[in-house]
Amino acid sequence: MLVEPDIEWVRGYQGVATAPEDLESFWTRTLDQAAAHPLNARFVRVAERLRLVDVYDVTFAGFDGQEVRAWLRVPAGTDLDAAGDLAAVVTYVGYGGGRGEPEDDLFWASSGFAHLHMDTRGQGSAWSRGDTGDIATQGPTVPGHMTRGIDDPDNYYYRRLITDAVRAVDVALGVAAIDSSRIAVQGHSQGGGLALAVSGLRSDVAAVIAQEPFLSDFPRSVRAATQKPYREIGEYLAIHRGDAAEVFEVLSYFDVSNLVGRASAPALVTVSLMDPICLPSTVYAAYNRYAGQKRIIEWEFNSHEGGQTLTSRAAIGFLDEVFAAE
């Protein structure tokens, strides 16, 4: 069933999250601190039996110089060190997942793209494997990741993860075989939220694909969503009574509906109208505030899974169109 039956209201919803006055300086400081650490990207060829795709195990310095893992998948025979013109897709993973196995997610590389598939710090044990740890968080938390460091924006989990996501684009930019003018960011759910965050934090991304994006319009999402992960924050506030104002102030620094007003890359967003996890209104909150060219696909009868293969097909067409226009 439709989780928000008034579809016209949903489509016009602008969100209620308010950006803090120091949002820009907060992220400038955060990313400057990260940039002070050498990226130190390393690529090790993985021995597997794939014939059409080469896979590299990637490590790079993310937040605070901490090691982050990724896979780089490229069409077989690609010389990473030779100047080339490969378009690239940087993928971020949904909540609880990690980068998976080398043979997973061959869609982009088999379609002729370079594909950098970033691991998710501290996650990667719920539905796909991860290999990247996270630094310890002080303070009480609800099991999961949504309340780690939620009492201080400097310590909040998503400060670290979003910084990793921004740095992953630098990894792609450093590969000679990749055309630096044709790098897209993409993800589903948490990954879609990260793609939108990155689009608002750097101007050199060429395209954005955000599928059923998470991390948008926290004030509504936490109060209205009936399932986790947002419910982790609701459960925290049920115990920490009276802390809501402070918690939502922290979350405002990481709310993608506050970040996308600075985005400029063309964006493809998808929304599922029966999604109880990332409510359609909260997806539209980010979409309606997105400052770049944009288009949205609605999946009327789908839940959080979205359009799946049909979304991938639409995404290929979208990137072909965007990159051909450059």
CATH number at residue 153: 3.40.50.1820
Contacts 24+ apart (CB under 8 A), 247-250: 247/150, 247/151, 248/218, 248/219, 248/222, 249/20, 250/150, 250/151, 250/152, 250/153, 250/156
DSSP state of 262: G
- Residue 6's contacts (CB-CB under 8 Å, 6 or more residues apart) are none
Q: Is 115 a catalytic residue?
A: no
- Of 105, 164, 217, 275, which residue is the catalytic one? 275
Separation of alpha carbons 10 and 32, rounded Å: 37
**Is the residue at 319 inside a domain?**
yes
Which of 189, 199, 252, 281 is catalytic? The answer is: 189
Q: What percent of the chain clears pLDDT 90, i.e. is strictly above it?
A: 91
- Find tokens 């982790």 and name the residue: 232
Domain count, the chain: 1
For 67, the 3-state DSSP assignment is: strand
Please, is 18 exposed, middle or buried when counting C-beta atoms within 10 Å of its C-beta (0-12, 13-18, 19+)?
Answer: middle
Domain assignment present for residue 188? The answer is yes
pLDDT of residue 320: 96
Q: 178 with 172: CB under 8 angstroms?
A: yes
What confidence score (pLDDT) does residue 143 get?
Answer: 82
Q: Is 179 a catalytic residue?
A: no
Percentage of residues in the chain with pLDDT exceeding 70? 99
Question: Does 153 reside within a domain?
Answer: yes
Q: Is residue 2 part of a domain?
A: no
In a domain, 274, yes or no: yes
List the alpha helices (DSSP H) in the chain.
7-12, 23-35, 107-110, 157-173, 190-201, 218-224, 230-239, 244-251, 256-259, 280-289, 309-324
The secondary structure of 184-232, three-state, reads: EEEEECHHHHHHHHHHHHCCCCCEEEEECCCCCCHHHHHHHCCCCCHHH
For the CA atoms of 91, 92, 98, 102, the dihedral, rounded to the nearest 10 degrees, stands at 10
How confident is the model at residue 28, as a pLDDT? Answer: 98
- What is the per-residue pLDDT across 12-60, written as a single tens digit (0 to 9) for each? 999 999 999 999 999 999 999 999 999 999 999 998 789 999 999 999 9
The binding site comprises 95
pLDDT digits (tens, 9 = 90+) for 103-146: 999 999 999 999 999 999 999 888 788 889 898 666 778 789 99
pLDDT for the residue numbered 139: 78
Binding site per annotation, positions for substrate: 95
Check residue 137 and give its pLDDT. 66
Mean pLDDT, rounded, of the chain: 96
Q: Which residue ranges in the chain fall short of pLDDT 50? A: none
**Closest of 159, 105, 108, 162 to residue 129, by C-alpha:** 105
pLDDT of amino acid 142: 79
37 in Cβ contact with 61 (< 8 Å): yes
User: Residue 124 has what pLDDT?
Assistant: 84
Report pLDDT for 80: 98
For the question of whether the overall pTM of this predicted structure is more than 0.75, the answer is: yes
Range of the domain at 96: 7-324
Short-list 303, 305, 306, CA closest to 270:
306
Residue 37 annotated as catalytic: no
* Residue 233 located in a structural domain: yes
